[in-house]
Structure 1
Amino acid sequence: YQGQFDVLLFCATVIGALLGFIIFNHKPAKIFMGDMGSLALGGALAAVSLMTHHELALLVIGFVFVMETASVILQVASFKLTGKRIFKMSPIHHHFEMCGWSEWRIDITFWCIGIVCSAIALAFIL
């Protein structure tokens, strides 16, 4: 993406901030991103995907978040229409907790899914 040095600089800045954040966010977390941080990060990702004309890649990269949101929508719709739940609890990470998965196992699984989806999106972009 020639001529988009400003986008590259912005992305490098965000990545640097996130790397600094992750150092202090391991258990027990010393700082928390909160709603403002996560909304700002989502907005930054959306802006970069629009500026680089790769809007679909954002959905692939954010598949874990799409899956979490979809599980809530499906659970509510199913309960309203049939009176039955699809999952033990939603969002889906709570379903896995109720199935006996540890927080660590859920985190690692979702991280791996996120990494694979990011690699797939990058393969399509490049």
Structure 2
Amino acid sequence: MNEQGCETFISDCHVRAAVELVSHTWDPVIVSALRLGPTRRSVLLDRIAGVSDKVLTESLRRLTARGLVARAPHEAGRDAAVYELTPLGASFAEGPLAHLAEWAAENQAALSPAS
């Protein structure tokens, strides 16, 4: 096993598991938005430009199943819920995701397609 926790071409390596957390376009955006604190789904829908209701719902379900986001009932009503980062989600948001965002910002020009 190498430093990254993988043997050559093993499908269940640790790097692959980590990359899967950012492989869905909206998942890292939603995790970043939840860094601001517990939030209702409708607020997330307004806060995140370009995400559809269906995609937001799918992403929240996926992130909840992965243990990164927790869903709790909201005091406003039986159908209302609040979403927030779990300790695992917060460590992901403040660690690797923050570093990835910083790297992307520093290298934005190099990453942009040539015009």
TM-score by length of 1: 0.31
TM-score by length of 2: 0.33
Structure number having the greater helix percentage: 1
Structure number having the greater strand percentage: 2
